[in-house]
């Protein structure tokens, strides 16, 4: 219930309700700037191989380091976000990530005859992942705090759209930069993007007052607002704090220390402070003013909320997301290599195909978020994406196997394979916003940072393991085996994702 109150339109912390769109814009920009790095750098895989003198195994290692860094750091960053707040963590993460990328440009980029050791590049990308892992959970928690249930699916999907949007921009821009100006320009542009986004966050990313003061403070505000129209409220102080009970418009706090008493009337609702309690809330029936005071119960309220680490439903969504990310990340990390080595595509075709994957994923995420908001079927949608992705990648494996055995003209084969990569990549990416909305809703706003971090940990652990697994699969069975394994992974997500419940909407309302 606290979360439902926390997103109410009249609780804005002194800012207009429209400020939530600025917060969403900052979250979008933050995700896009970091996505340009972790999704864009893999699109330069062909140039990474030649520029750093890598084989497929070395390429898989350095690309996997990005995912490992994010996977290891996501949960600590999420816990820190729930403790420190979105603004501090996002600013720290963006600025430190910009510094790490600048360090790569200065010390880990090939220049002339100098080729940095693969260890230097791997450590640098690991550091970028460790620091950039802060962006995902902190920006998501901010969006969840400002939007209410019924809007969050669309808002979180728009935010998640930043991942393919940033990746698509990186796919169009970074290969051209790498081929013309080298990797110094690649890392420098990415660092500049993170630094600019940090400026946006400094200017516009602010938490609503109910998050700063605790959700119980928001409950007091909601109760005082209803007291003006329903003329019913009770309040008292407790030596250890106060708690708000939102049921039928009644606010009660049992008192000690100096005690307290509730006064009911046409003109005012008063609540006396107790030791360690909050300040009085005055409500006037004429609607003149409602003075909301800070309630010192944020920690108490949070302590009573079960940790997302102990919620099996959250783990099922997160683990299902990790499994469904295998085909998506196979396309992101080795799709360019597949089209170049197997499909004999040129740089323009590869860049357009990878950008189409990201653009299609962005559109699909927004549409899916809006659609699931209207129908309340997030879980069914995730399971449907799992099945569709498995079918598409099975078809890609079959087409790749047939193309390898037949001697046909390369241009038609290249176009067919590129189209199938786009379709499979979009299907494997469309569900992200819906899944992360489900995670945050299950956990509640106060614990959303931790829940989102659990999901991102599973996702980016897959980003670490997938590029490491592809080279051995190539040596065993070539590309058809790679896409077949991707299909099986997508199918494994189907039983892992929780089934839709009939009373799902009622359950979500109670959670929020």
**Both structure tokens of 81:** 């976000």
Ordered DSSP codes for 189-251: HHHHHHHHHHHHHHHH----HHHHH-HHHHHHHHHHHHHHHH--------TT------SSS--
- CA 285 to chain CA mean position, Å: 42
Distance separating alpha carbons of residues 322 and 492, to the nearest angstrom: 10
User: Would you give per-residue pLDDT tens digits along the chain (512 residues)?
Assistant: 334 434 444 444 556 667 888 888 998 999 999 999 988 999 899 899 999 999 888 999 999 998 899 889 988 888 888 888 888 899 999 999 999 999 999 999 998 888 999 999 999 999 999 999 888 767 667 777 788 777 777 887 788 788 888 988 998 899 999 999 999 999 999 999 999 999 999 988 877 765 555 443 433 333 333 333 333 333 333 333 333 333 333 333 343 333 333 333 333 333 333 333 433 334 343 443 433 344 444 444 444 566 788 889 899 999 999 999 999 999 988 999 999 988 888 888 888 999 899 899 889 988 888 888 888 889 999 999 999 999 999 999 999 998 877 665 567 888 999 999 999 999 999 998 889 888 888 888 778 778 888 988 898 899 889 999 999 999 887 899 999 999 999 999 999 999 876 544 444 434 34
Distance separating alpha carbons of residues 428 and 26, to the nearest angstrom: 25
Phi first, then psi, for residue 12 (nearest 5°) are -125, 0
Phi first, then psi, for residue 280 (nearest 5°) are -70, 150
Q: Which CATH architecture has domain 2-211+304-511?
A: Up-down Bundle (1.20)
Distance separating alpha carbons of residues 246 and 223, to the nearest angstrom: 7
Please state the length of the chain: 512
**Domain assignments of the chain as residue spans, ordered by start:** 2-211+304-511, 215-296
| R_g (Cα) of the chain, nearest Å | 25
Helix axes 378-405, 312-341, angle to 10 degrees: 30
Map tokens 């307290």 to a residue: 260
């Amino acid at each position: 219930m606290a979360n439902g109150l926390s997103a109410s339109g009249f609780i804005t912390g002194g800012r207009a309700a429209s400020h939530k769109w600025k917060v969403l814009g900052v979250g979008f920009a933050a995700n896009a700037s970091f996505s340009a790095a972790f999704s864009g750098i893999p699109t330069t895989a062909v140039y990474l191989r030649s520029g750093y003198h890598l084989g497929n195994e070395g390429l898989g290692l350095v690309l996997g380091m990005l995912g490992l860094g994010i996977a290891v750091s996501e949960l600590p960053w999420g816990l820190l976000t729930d403790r420190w707040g979105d603004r501090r963590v996002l600013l720290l993460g963006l600025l430190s990530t910009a510094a790490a990328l600048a360090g790569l440009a200065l010390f880990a980029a090939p220049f002339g005859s100098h080729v940095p050791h693969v260890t230097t590049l791997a450590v640098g990308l690991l550091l970028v992942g460790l620091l950039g892992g802060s962006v995902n959970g902190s920006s998501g928690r901010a969006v969840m705090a400002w939007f209410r249930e019924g809007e969050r699916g669309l808002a979180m999907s728009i935010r998640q759209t930043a991942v393919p949007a940033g990746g698509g921009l990186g796919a169009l821009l970074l290969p051209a930069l790498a081929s013309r100006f080298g990797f110094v320009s690649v890392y420098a542009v990415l660092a500049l993007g993170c630094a600019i986004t940090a400026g946006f966050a400094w200017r516009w990313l602010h938490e609503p007052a109910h998050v700063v003061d605790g959700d119980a403070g928001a409950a007091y505000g909601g109760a005082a607002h209803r007291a003006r129209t329903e003329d019913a409220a009770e309040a008292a102080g407790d030596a250890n704090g106060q708690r708000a009970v939102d049921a039928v418009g009644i606010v009660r706090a049992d008192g000690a220390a100096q005690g307290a008493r509730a006064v009911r009337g046409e003109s005012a609702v008063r609540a006396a402070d107790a030791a360690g309690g909050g300040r009085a809330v005055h409500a006037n029936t004429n609607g003149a003013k409602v003075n909301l005071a800070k309630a010192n119960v944020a920690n108490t309220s949070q302590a009573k909320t079960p940790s997302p680490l102990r919620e099996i439903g959250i783990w099922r969504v997160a683990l299902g997301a990790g499994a469904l990310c295998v085909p998506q990340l196979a396309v992101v990390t080795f799709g360019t290599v597949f089209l170049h080595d197997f499909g004999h595509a040129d740089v323009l075709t590869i860049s357009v195909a990878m950008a189409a994957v990201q653009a299609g994923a962005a559109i699909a995420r927004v549409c899916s978020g809006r659609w699931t908001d209207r129908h309340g079927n997030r879980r069914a949608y995730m399971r449907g994406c799992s099945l569709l992705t498995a079918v598409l990648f099975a078809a890609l494996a079959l087409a790749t196997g047939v193309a390898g055995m037949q001697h046909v003209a390369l241009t038609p084969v290249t176009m067919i394979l590129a189209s199938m990569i786009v379709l499979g990549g979009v299907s494997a990416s469309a569900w992200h916003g819906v899944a992360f909305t489900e995670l945050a809703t299950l956990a509640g706003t106060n614990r959303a940072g931790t829940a989102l971090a659990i999901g991102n940990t599973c996702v980016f652990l897959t980003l670490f393991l997938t590029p490491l697994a592809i080279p051995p699969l190539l040596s065993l069975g070539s590309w058809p085996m790679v896409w077949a394994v991707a299909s099986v992974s997508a199918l494994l997500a189907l039983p892992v994702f929780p089934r839709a419940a009939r009373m799902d909407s009622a359950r979500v309302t109670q959670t929020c």
